[in-house]
Amino acid sequence: MTALAEKNTAITGIGLSDVSRGASRSALALTVDAALEAIADAGLSRGDIDGIATWPGERADGSGFSPVGCAAVQDALRLKLGWYGGGGEAPGQYGAVFNAIGAIAAGLCRNVLIFRTMYEATARKTAFANALLREGQRQAGPFAWYAPYYTYAAALQQALFFNLYVHKSGIRPDQVAQIPINQRRNAALNPKAIYRTPITLDDYLASPLIATPLRLYDCDVPCDGAVAIVVSRMDVARTLRNPPVRIEAIGSSMQYRNSWTQLDALDTQAQPKVAEMMWSRTDLGPADVDIAQLYDGFTFHTLNWLENFGFCERFGAKDFIEGGRRIALEGDLPVNTGGGALSAGRLHAYGAVHEACTQLWGRGGERQVKRDPRVCATSTAGGPLAGAMLLVRD
């Protein structure tokens, strides 16, 4: 295999702020907490960071969706950078990582701080911040096609896709429920998770319908929090204190129509070609994966990824997760081992990267997967957005 740029990079440090349903400190403070923790965890100092990236970049719209961007962190930490980049038109949330890989390959930087900050819990206390719509304002851009139809939240768009998936696959609510039940069981063992009280099938079935077939427990939890990771060039990574978590392969493709309405296959979203690309860039395959941190903005995404990564066949997720044993911490494929966004907070796929490294470095405490996991598949999702990474600790 020819030299692929991601194979010359590794995650060398991770940081996670307090994560809550209402922070006592600012979004920038949380971001600095996570950033400093990640830099120290890598055994680096501020002066060693020469690149910074985030997704989707600062959005000063009061929604809390992305209140902190590269410029704010660069200035707060007075970083001296060879490269920086934040922006949303990318292969899902991991676009920031993929851009960093390119910047390292281009020789622009060696240690890139990548972060994702959320302040949605606080934002929603003062406004309907989830609103995709603004009363009295006309809507521009692709969302203008949805705006006139009372499409108040991304949940409605995802419910359209999820309902088609349910229709085609025949999955039952008691089968879907295994995803949130498993994650809450894992969250009970994660001191930083937001919701730690186990839930039952009856709890799931009793949770309010948002938009059929989505129930409340199918949706992730808006939070205040920040995650940071350091991605380093491999020669640097090998000199640092943590065993490098190598970025073995990535999937960044856009082979379908990039549209929330005309997307080629609504029930699989943009994931199949992204997964195919990731597997084409490694000799490893689904059977080599020890743990999976799969996007869980909604349970539907996690079901989708189980199939699209090839852990089971198309529409086989319902049988794969039946009873929950296979995806549990003790199972063949532990999934979302820290509770995921459903229970530990919507850190938008970067919580998943943090948990991946936590497990690969054996720091999981009570929730540590026992058989020394080395290979983790992780992913992002949402309609036409998707990105995937395979992480390996040697």
Partner 1 sequence: MALPPTRILPVIDKDNAAYWTWGANGELAIHRCADCGYRVHPPVPFCPACDGRSVGPEAVSGRGRVTTFTVNHKQWVPGLAVPYVLALVELVEQPDVRLVANITHCDPGQVRFGMEVEVWFEPVEDLWVPLFRPARGAA
Out of 262, 285, 319, 323, the only residue in the binding site for partner 1 (CB under 8 A) is: 262
How many Cβ atoms sit within 10 Å of the Cβ of residue 212?
A: 10
Q: By three-state DSSP, how is residue 394 classified?
A: coil
Tokens coding 159: 């419910």
From residue 279 to residue 318, the character string flagging contacts with partner 1 as x (rule: CB under 8 A) and all else as - is: ----------------------------------------
> Quick one: 261 or 280, whose CB is closer to partner 1?
261
> Quick one: 10 or 159, whose CB is closer to partner 1?
159
The answer, yes or no, to whether the previous bond of 213 is cis (omega within 30 of 0) is: yes
> Quick one: 86 or 382, whose CB is closer to partner 1?
382
Asked if residues 67 and 60 have their Cβ atoms less than 8 Å apart, the reply is: yes
Tokens coding 68: 């902190």
The C-alpha atoms of residue 253 and residue 251 are separated, in whole angstroms, by 6
From residue 99 to residue 128, the character string flagging contacts with partner 1 as x (rule: CB under 8 A) and all else as - is: -----------------------------x
Nearest approach in angstroms of CB 220 to partner 1 is 15
Q: Per CB under 8 A, which region of 42-50, 260-268, 287-295, 373-381 contacts partner 1?
A: 260-268
- Please give the size of the binding site for partner 1, defined by CB under 8 A: 41
Q: Is 316 exposed, middle or buried (0-12, 13-18, 19+ CB in 10 A)?
A: middle
Asked if residues 22 and 222 have their Cβ atoms less than 8 Å apart, the reply is: no
The C-alpha atoms of residue 392 and residue 375 are separated, in whole angstroms, by 5
How many Cβ atoms sit within 10 Å of the Cβ of residue 262?
A: 11
Out of 164, 188, 201, 254, the only residue in the binding site for partner 1 (CB under 8 A) is: 164
User: Which amino acid type is present at position 238?
Assistant: R
Residue 131 makes contact with partner 1 by CB under 8 A: yes
> Quick one: 270 or 388, whose CB is closer to partner 1?
270
Nearest approach in angstroms of CB 228 to partner 1 is 33
Nearest approach in angstroms of CB 262 to partner 1 is 6
Tokens coding 365: 């405490």
Nearest approach in angstroms of CB 145 to partner 1 is 5
Q: Is 341 exposed, middle or buried (0-12, 13-18, 19+ CB in 10 A)?
A: buried
From residue 206 to residue 235, the character string flagging contacts with partner 1 as x (rule: CB under 8 A) and all else as - is: --xxxxxxx---------------------
Report the candidate in 383, 281, 295, 385 with the shortest Cα–Cα distance to residue 342: 295
The C-alpha atoms of residue 172 and residue 329 are separated, in whole angstroms, by 23
> Quick one: 123 or 210, whose CB is closer to partner 1?
210
From residue 33 to residue 62, the character string flagging contacts with partner 1 as x (rule: CB under 8 A) and all else as - is: ------------------------------
The C-alpha atoms of residue 153 and residue 161 are separated, in whole angstroms, by 14
> Quick one: 106 or 265, whose CB is closer to partner 1?
265
Nearest approach in angstroms of CB 254 to partner 1 is 15
The answer, yes or no, to whether the previous bond of 222 is cis (omega within 30 of 0) is: no
Site residues for partner 1 per CB under 8 A: 128, 130-131, 133-135, 137-140, 142, 144-153, 155-156, 159-164, 167, 208-214, 259, 261-262, 266
